[in-house]
Structure 1
Amino acid sequence: MSDVLGELQQRGLVALTTEEAALRAALAEGPVTYYVGFDPTAPSLHMGNLVQLLLARHLQDAGHRPLMLVGGATGLIGDPRMSGERTLNDREVVAGWIDKIRGQIERFIDFDGPYAARMVNNLDWTGEVSAIDFLRDIGKHFSVNRMLAKEAVSARLNSEHGISFTEFSYQVLQGNDYLELFRRYGCTLQTGGSDQWGNLTSGVDLIRRVERTPVHALATPLITKADGTKFGKTESGTIWLDSDLTSPYAFLQFWLNADDRDVIKYLKVFSFRSLAEIAKLEQQTNERPQARAAQRALAEDVTTLVHGPELTAKALAATEALFGGGEIRGLDVETLGHVVAELPSGTVSRSGVLAGEVGAVDALVSSGLVASKGAARRAIKEGGAYVNNVKVTAEDAVIAADDLLGERYVLLRRGKKTLGALTAE
C-alpha cells in the first residue's frame, strides 16, 4: 500500500503522529520496523488492546515489520492510571499472564514470511540492569519538569491519591524500551493509544537525545460510544479477548447491539472490509436500519477474527435460535451455558422436573421474567409465554424432562424478546 497512513486516517485509526509528512514518507519508502507494547496487568487482552492489534496488522499487511512487545518488566509496575495506584502483582502471576497474552497476539499477526513479526519481552533488557546504571545511562536524559507535565502524572499529582515513584518512573522504562528496540532491530515507529501519547513521545525524545536520530510515534484515538457509555464495557463488565472470560456468544452480542450511530465507525476500525464495502453497508443502514446488516457484518467479522469461524458459527446459531426462531435443540451444552450466563436466570430442582412437579408458571417466576404467579398466568393466557421457543398454552403446563436442553437448561421467553433461563440442579 503506497499510502497506508492515509488508509489508517480514513479508517479513523490516527489521532496523533509525530511529524506526519516524515512518517508518511518513511512508510511509503518502507519497510519500517515498528512496535506496540502490551503490559500483562490481567490474564487477557481486552477491547482497547484489539485496536492496537488491528493497527499492527494493517501495517504488516502494508509491508512493514512488527515487533510485538509483552511487558514483562513494565507489567510488574503498571502504567499510571487517572484513578489511582495499581495493585502490584506477583512475578509468577505476571509470568503466567505473559504466556496467555503472547498466545492471543499470535492470532492476529503473521510470524512467518518476508515481514514476519518478532515477539519481544522488555524484561530481557531491563531485568539485569542495576538501578545505578539505569539512572546514570537513561534517567539523566529525562527532565522531571517534562515528566510532571504528562497528563496522567499531572492528574494524579492534583488528586488525593498522589503518585508513587514506582509509577512515576514508568515513562522512563517505556522510553528505554523504544531505545533498545531501535538499537537491536532498527525500530523507528511506536504505536499506542492516545492516552499513551506522553509515554510514546518519551521514547522519541530519548532516541533523539542519545542517538541523534529522528523516529516516529503514532497514536490511535480513544474509541467512544454515541450513548456516552464506555466502549468495551457492558453491565457484566469488561469485554475480554479470552473466551473463558467473555464467551464467544457474549462477544458476538456486544457487536450485534452496536448503535446505528456507531456501527460504521466500528466497521472501519475493527474489520478488514474495504472502505467501499463499508460505504455500501452504511447506505443499507440508512435505508433499512431495522435489518441491522452492518451490525451483523461487524459481529461476524470481529468474532471470527478473535474466536475463529467455528465458535462464531455456534454463537450465530444461538442468536438465531433465541431471536430468529432457529432450532434451539441443536445447540451444544457449552454454547447453551454461554447463553444462560447472559440471561436473567434461576435454578430449578432436577428431581422436581423429572417428577413433573415444576409448573410453567413457577418457572417463569423463578427465571425472573415475571414478578408474580399472577403475571405468569396472564402472560400464558395472552399467548406470550414460551418454553424453549414453544408457546405455553395452558396455565397448568409443566416443565418435563425432555424440556431440559443438554439435560440441564430451560430457556424461557416472555413476548418477542424478553428472555430468561433456568438451570436444573
Structure 2
Amino acid sequence: MNLLDELRWRGMLHDTMPGTAEHLAEHQPISGYIGFDPTAASLHIGNLATIMLLVHLQRSGHRPVALVGGATGMIGDPSMKSSERNLLDEETLRINQAGIRAQLERFLEFNDGPTGAVVVNNYDWFKEFGFLEFLRDVGKHITVNYMMAKDSVKRRLGTPEAEGEQRAEGLSYTEFSYQLLQGYDFSHLYKTLNCTLQMGGSDQWGNITTGTELIRRLDGGKAFALTCPLVTKADGTKFGKSEGGNVWLSPQMTSPYQFYQFWLNAADADASRLIRVFTLLSEAEILDLEAQHAPAPHQRILQKALAKDVTSRVHSAEAYEAAVAASEILFGKGDLEDLQRLDEATLLDVFAGVPRLEVPREQAGSLLVADLLSEATQYQIFPSKSEVKKMIQGGGVSLNRQKVAAADQAVSELPLLQDKYLVAQKGKKNYFLISLV
C-alpha cells in the first residue's frame, strides 16, 4: 500500500517535508523511526497513535525503528509542556524500557528480513559521549537563533509569538538542549541504520527538523519528516485519559475491562476518527460500519467495533471476550458461574460504580439474609426486614445472580465470590457489592 495515501484517508497525516512522497516511492524499503519517552513502565493510548504510524510503515513495505529514549528520558522534552518534569534515575529508566519494548512487540513484526522491526536505545550511544565532544561535534552546527525559532521553545519562554499559549515557568538549559539530542539521534540512526525518515506527533515537528538539518550539515545527507495530528476529542480536549488518569497499555496499570470500557464509551462525535486512527480496519469496512451506526447510534456499532479491535490487539482476543462478558453482567446477563469466572480485579472493576458495603466476617456467619440486607451494613439496602421479605416474595432480590427464595436463609450457606464477596441485586438495576472483612 502507499503509506501517505493510507495515512491521509485515516486522518493521520499532518505534515511532511517536501520530497517525502518521492523518497518513499523510490526507495524500497526505507527505515523510519519514532522515539518513545520511557517515563513509565508502560506506554499509554496517547502513544498508540504513533505506534500505528510504525505499523502502517511496516505494512507498506518499510522497516520500522522504535527508539526508546534512555538518554533523552533523563532530560525531558519541553514540547507541549508548561513545566520541567522530574528526572528519572538510570535503574527506573531500564525497567521502563524493558516494559515498552515488550509492548511494541505486540504490534510490530520483528525478524531478520529487510522490513523487520528494530528497537534501539539512545543511551547506548550517548553514555560515552562527553560534554565537550558533544558541543564541538554537534552543538557548533546548530545556531541559537535556529533553536529559539522552535515553537516548543517559544511556548516555554512566553515569547510574543506564543501569545495566547499557557504562560510557563521558563526553560532550563537542560530542556533547551533536548532538540540537539533528538536531532543527533536522527543523525546517528542515519549513519548506522540508513534511517532516512523520522515520524511523530505534530508537536515533534521542530525536534524532527532539527535532525534533518543536522544530517544535512554533519553528513551531507538528505532526510525526511512526517507527523500525524495530535488526537483530541471533538470538543478539543486532550484524548487518552479517563477519570483515573492515563489509559495504559499494561493490564497491570489499566485492566482489560477498563481498557475495553474506555473505547466502548467513546462519544459518537469521536468514534469515526478514533476507529480510523487506532484500528487496521479497511476504509470500506469503516464506511460500512458508519452506515450501520448512523440510523441507530444507541446501538454503539462503531464503538463496539473499535473496542473489539483495539482490545484484542493490545491484550488478546480472550481478554476482549472476558471484558464483554464482564460488561454484560451489569445488564442482567450471566449467572453465578459467570460471576465466578471473574478474577477479583475485574469483579471490582465491573462494580466500581455501585455502593460497596463491608460486613465483619465473624458477624456474617450468624446472619440471615433479611438481616444482611437491612441492618448489618452501614448502608441499608432495605429500610426494614419487612421490605426485604416483601421484595423476596415478589422475586426481586438476587445474591450472586441467584434469586433469593427465603428471607431466613443463612448467609453462611451462600456461595461467595473470591471467598469474600456477594453481589446483591435489588430489582433490575440496583446493585450492591458486599464484602466480608
TM-score (norm 1): 0.89
Select 1:213's aligned residue among 202, 221, 225. 221
Q: Contact 1:249–1:318 (CA<8 Å) still a contact in 2? A: yes
Q: Deviation digits for residues 355-402 of structure 1, max 9, x if unmatched?
A: 3355224688649xx7x948x969x85987654345679888885552
1:30-69 pair list within 5 angstroms: 30-69=28-67
Query: CA offset at residue 410 of structure 1?
Result: 2.7
Partner SS, residue 250 of structure 1: helix
CA distance in 1, matches of 2:69, 2:276: 28
Q: Contact 2:29–2:114 (CA<8 Å) still a contact in 1? A: no
Q: Contact 1:411–1:420 (CA<8 Å) still a contact in 2? A: yes
Q: Contact 1:17–1:216 (CA<8 Å) still a contact in 2? A: yes
Residues 230 and 421 (structure 1), Cα distance of their counterparts in 2 relative to 1, 3 Å cut: farther
Q: Which residue of 2 aligns with 1:316?
A: 324
Select 1:350's aligned residue among 358, 361, 364. 361
Select 2:417's aligned residue among 375, 380, 405. 405
Residues 83 and 6 (structure 1), Cα distance of their counterparts in 2 relative to 1, 3 Å cut: same
Q: Contact 1:360–1:396 (CA<8 Å) still a contact in 2? A: no
CA distance in 1, matches of 2:429, 2:403: 14
Query: Which stretch has the larger CA shift, 76-85 or 391-400?
Result: 391-400
CA distance in 1, matches of 2:139, 2:423: 61
Which amino acid letter does the alignment assign opposite residue 352 of structure 1?
Answer: Q
Which amino acid letter does the alignment assign opposite residue 355 of structure 1?
Answer: S
Partner SS, residue 241 of structure 1: coil
Q: Contact 2:339–2:400 (CA<8 Å) still a contact in 1? A: no
Query: CA offset at residue 424 of structure 1?
Result: 2.6
Select 1:252's aligned residue among 255, 260, 268. 260
Q: Contact 1:360–1:395 (CA<8 Å) still a contact in 2? A: no
Query: Which stretch has the larger CA shift, 22-31 or 129-138?
Result: 22-31
Residues 359 and 206 (structure 1), Cα distance of their counterparts in 2 relative to 1, 3 Å cut: same
1:289 aligns with 2:297: yes
1:17 aligns with 2:25: no
1:6-405 pair list within 5 angstroms: 6-19=5-18, 22-29=19-26, 30-80=28-78, 81-112=80-111, 113-158=113-158, 159=167, 161-323=169-331, 325-331=333-339, 335-341=343-349, 343-344=352-353, 345-356=356-367, 359-361=372-374, 366=379, 373=383, 387-390=399-402, 401-405=413-417
Residues 191 and 237 (structure 1), Cα distance of their counterparts in 2 relative to 1, 3 Å cut: same
Segments of structure 2 that go 5 or more residues without pairing to the other structure are: 159-166
CA distance in 1, matches of 2:292, 2:343: 31
CA distance in 1, matches of 2:169, 2:288: 49
Query: CA offset at residue 326 of structure 1?
Result: 2.3
Q: Contact 1:178–1:203 (CA<8 Å) still a contact in 2? A: yes
Which amino acid letter does the alignment assign opposite residue 71 of structure 2?
Answer: A
Partner SS, residue 37 of structure 1: strand
CA distance in 2, matches of 1:361, 1:387: 14
CA distance in 1, matches of 2:205, 2:406: 63
CA distance in 2, matches of 1:73, 1:100: 16
Partner SS, residue 96 of structure 2: helix
Query: CA offset at residue 346 of structure 1?
Result: 4.1
Query: Which stretch has the larger CA shift, 271-280 or 201-210?
Result: 201-210
Q: Contact 2:42–2:250 (CA<8 Å) still a contact in 1? A: yes
Query: CA offset at residue 253 of structure 1?
Result: 0.5
Q: Contact 1:110–1:116 (CA<8 Å) still a contact in 2? A: yes
Segments of structure 1 that go 5 or more residues without pairing to the other structure are: none
Residues 206 and 334 (structure 1), Cα distance of their counterparts in 2 relative to 1, 3 Å cut: farther
Q: Contact 2:14–2:229 (CA<8 Å) still a contact in 1? A: yes
CA distance in 1, matches of 2:324, 2:421: 19
CA distance in 1, matches of 2:9, 2:335: 41
Q: Contact 1:322–1:328 (CA<8 Å) still a contact in 2? A: no
CA distance in 1, matches of 2:225, 2:91: 32
CA distance in 2, matches of 1:361, 1:228: 47
Which amino acid letter does the alignment assign opposite residue 32 of structure 2?
Answer: Y
Query: Which stretch has the larger CA shift, 294-303 or 223-232?
Result: 223-232
Q: Contact 1:336–1:409 (CA<8 Å) still a contact in 2? A: no
Residues 265 and 138 (structure 1), Cα distance of their counterparts in 2 relative to 1, 3 Å cut: same
RMSD: 2.8
Residues 212 and 414 (structure 1), Cα distance of their counterparts in 2 relative to 1, 3 Å cut: farther
Which amino acid letter does the alignment assign opposite residue 125 of structure 2?
Answer: W
CA distance in 2, matches of 1:420, 1:149: 58
Residues 385 and 332 (structure 1), Cα distance of their counterparts in 2 relative to 1, 3 Å cut: closer
Which amino acid letter does the alignment assign opposite residue 187 of structure 1?
Answer: C
CA distance in 2, matches of 1:46, 1:242: 8
Q: Which residue of 2 aligns with 1:421?
A: 433
Which amino acid letter does the alignment assign opposite residue 226 of structure 2?
Answer: L
How much identity, in percent, do the aligned residues show? 45
TM-score (norm 2): 0.87
Partner SS, residue 65 of structure 2: strand
How many residues are treated as equivalent by the alignment?
418
Residues 83 and 395 (structure 1), Cα distance of their counterparts in 2 relative to 1, 3 Å cut: farther
CA distance in 1, matches of 2:65, 2:376: 54
